[in-house]
Amino acid sequence: MSSRIKNHDANAALCQPAYVLKFALVHSVTILLLTTLLYAAGLFSSSQATRLPEDLTKSILQQFPGAHVRLDGSIETSDGDLFLPVVPINARASNRIEVVWPDSRQAQVVVLASGWCYLKVIRKGGLKSIALPTELPEKILHRLMAGRFPPDLVVPERFVLPLSLKSIAGDCAIELGDDAMVSQGDFRQPSEVTYSGPGSAPGAFFLTSLSTGRVTWLDDRTLAKIAEFPTEGTPCHLACLGGKLYVADQAKDRILVLDPGKGRFTAQIHMPRRSAPTGLAGAPGGRLLYAAESGAGRIAVIEAASGKTLLHTKVPPGPGAIKVTPNGHFLVVVSTTSGKVSILSTMNQRLLGSVAAGAHPTDVAITGDSKLAYVSNRRSNSVSIIHISRREQVATITTGNSPTGLALSRDDRVLYVANARDNTITVYNTDTREKTAQIDLPLDVDFPSAIFLCERDKKLLVSSEASGFLGLLNLGSLKFEEPVRIGHSSHDIIWAPFASPPAVKTN
């Protein structure tokens, strides 16, 4: 630690090297001792400092002779074992080791009287994780679950935290896995992961039209029009949640609720004036709805059942498209105005960090393993590849003019990109990131916006902002079939598991 010595009246003696060194040393030691005391007293939170106080370090090294204390507070033993710190919300002054479980020779959990805990990282199959002893006392478990990993934790490679320990992840972007799968060394995602697309269950396509203010319902097999619903507003993005369809009406600062069973709008959620909601996404379980308030620069977290806004999370200006990762743990927010991509935790709705993308980012597609987000940059003519847990851009793909809609194949090996100004669809191999095909849109389909991949039928549905048709790309031949006439422009496309009711009212 360094200190600056300023004394305009200092005489020659005070400028001697020995005096300066002694003064700096005493000053540094004083600050170090003061910092340690404040930390032990709980005046420094874990978000301000993760380094261990000196007495805590001594206690740990007594338990693990020859261990190395990393900058993030983790302990690396001489045997190569790694223990991750769980920092209490309110630390007590004592740093005496209270519990080592199950014993000193086979420690898996180390608990200090101050509230700090250490958990051993275990290797299981192809992953690293945490496994708590089944006989761990309830008191110790309660103390452990009240803590959090420090925000600057260096997460081990291929580390997956069991869902039962989700709360200790805190603000760290950590992959979560089903407890049973993790215990078997399985890297698959939790059981809540589902594929939201046409399959064996009955369903339908829903489209929005910015220019006409309509929401259109199409049969997902024949693409025949079932119904149209006027909104008298500007419907942007759609979300399906709990058997209802939610429609963001940007111009009227509201979210409309469509009940497919009744064939009509049954409610509306009023948003703050000039909030201009655009993007929508539903959380797994059907309880929460996320809405991007493009005019207010924030994400609204809404209780779907009551329509009540529970809280707001500030994000970079101009949020638009938003999506929840397939594992349900993160929300990816594309901020068009500021050129940023933000990652929010769905556990506490907090902003974990933002990453610079290209100019005017527009759409996002997320891989099935929830690791990568592909973001189209409309004015940069590129697609940014964002690593979600590391919150960094790892690569860029050059595209055609004005890329908008994106779609990934179910195995994540093929990326489809709609280029609005070129009126083309380009196809990329995600392993090599090379373009493998480029297909011109039919004359009746102009300025594509959203695209939707229907792998059941091996078709790609393409919206059109400037015509009354939908494009239908055959993925086998990579040729467009006869365009589907819907009679108005289209902006967003989603599939929802709704069967057509016996009679539909189109209010």
Most confident of the ranges 130-139, 146-155, 183-192, 403-412: 403-412
Residue 450 has φ and ψ, to the nearest 5°, of: -85, 150
Segment 284-304 shows an average pLDDT of 93
Distance CA 418, CA 442 (A): 13
Count helices and strands (H / E) in the chain.
Answer: 4, 40
Show which of 183, 213, 228 is a domain's final residue: 183
205 closest CA partner among 501, 506, 505, 500: 500
Q: Decide if pLDDT at 5 tops 50.
A: no
The pLDDT of residue 247 is 98
DSSP type of residue 29: H
Is residue 2 one of the residues assigned to a domain? no
The pLDDT of residue 27 is 44
> What total number of domains does the chain contain?
2
Is residue 293 one of the residues assigned to a domain? yes
Q: Are 436 and 287 contained in the same domain?
A: yes
Centroid of chain to Cα 447: 29
Distance CA 457, CA 473 (A): 11
Q: Over the stretch 355-384, which tens digit does the pLDDT of each residue have? A: 999 999 999 999 998 999 999 999 999 999
Q: Over the stretch 403-448, which tens digit does the pLDDT of each residue have? A: 999 999 999 999 999 999 999 999 999 999 999 999 999 999 999 9
Is residue 472 one of the residues assigned to a domain? yes
Q: Which two tokens stand for residue 474?
A: 């055959």
Q: Over the stretch 263-278, which tens digit does the pLDDT of each residue have? A: 899 999 999 999 999 9
The single-letter code of the amino acid at 484 is: V
In which band, very low, low, confident or very high, does the pLDDT at 42 lie, cut at 50, 70 and 90?
Answer: very low
Query: 253, 274 in Cβ contact below 8 A?
Result: yes
Show which of 113, 148, 183 is a domain's final residue: 183
Q: Are 264 and 309 contained in the same domain?
A: yes
Handedness of CA 196, 197, 201, 207 (dihedral sign): positive
Map residue 183 onto helix, strand or coil: helix
Residue 135 to residues 75, 145, 334, 503, Cα–Cα distance (Å): 24, 16, 45, 58
Q: Are 132 and 219 contained in the same domain?
A: no
pLDDT > 70 fraction of the chain, expressed in percent and rounded? 80
Q: Decide if pLDDT at 248 tops 50.
A: yes
Is residue 38 one of the residues assigned to a domain? no
Q: Are 243 and 283 contained in the same domain?
A: yes
Q: Are 213 and 127 contained in the same domain?
A: no
Q: Are 230 and 346 contained in the same domain?
A: yes
Query: 64, 78 in Cβ contact below 8 A?
Result: yes
In which band, very low, low, confident or very high, does the pLDDT at 499 lie, cut at 50, 70 and 90?
Answer: low
Segment 169-187 shows an average pLDDT of 68
Q: Decide if pLDDT at 32 tops 70.
A: no
Is residue 130 one of the residues assigned to a domain? yes
Segment holding 399, helix H or strand E = none
Q: Are 254 and 174 contained in the same domain?
A: no
Q: Are 90 and 223 contained in the same domain?
A: no
Handedness of CA 106, 111, 113, 114 (dihedral sign): positive
The CATH number that applies at residue 227 is 2.130.10.10
H, E, C per residue of 64-123: CCCCEECCCCCEECCCCCEEEEEEECCCCCCCCEEEEECCCCCCCEEEECCCCEEEECEE
The pLDDT of residue 180 is 65
CB atoms within 10 A of CB 445: 26
Q: Are 178 and 232 contained in the same domain?
A: no
Provide the domain limits for residue 335: 204-496
Is residue 46 one of the residues assigned to a domain? no
Q: Are 335 and 435 contained in the same domain?
A: yes
Show which of 128, 151, 183 is a domain's final residue: 183
DSSP type of residue 60: H
Q: Which two tokens stand for residue 15?
A: 């400028």
Is residue 188 one of the residues assigned to a domain? no
Segment 343-354 shows an average pLDDT of 90
Most confident of the ranges 322-331, 332-341, 449-458: 332-341
249 closest CA partner among 238, 264, 265, 261: 238
Q: Are 179 and 325 contained in the same domain?
A: no
176 closest CA partner among 477, 389, 359: 389
Is residue 31 one of the residues assigned to a domain? no
The pLDDT of residue 221 is 86
Distance CA 435, CA 428 (A): 4
- For the chain, helix, strand, coil in percent to 5 are 10, 40, 50
Centroid of chain to Cα 27: 45
Segment 347-357 shows an average pLDDT of 91
Q: Are 354 and 481 contained in the same domain?
A: yes
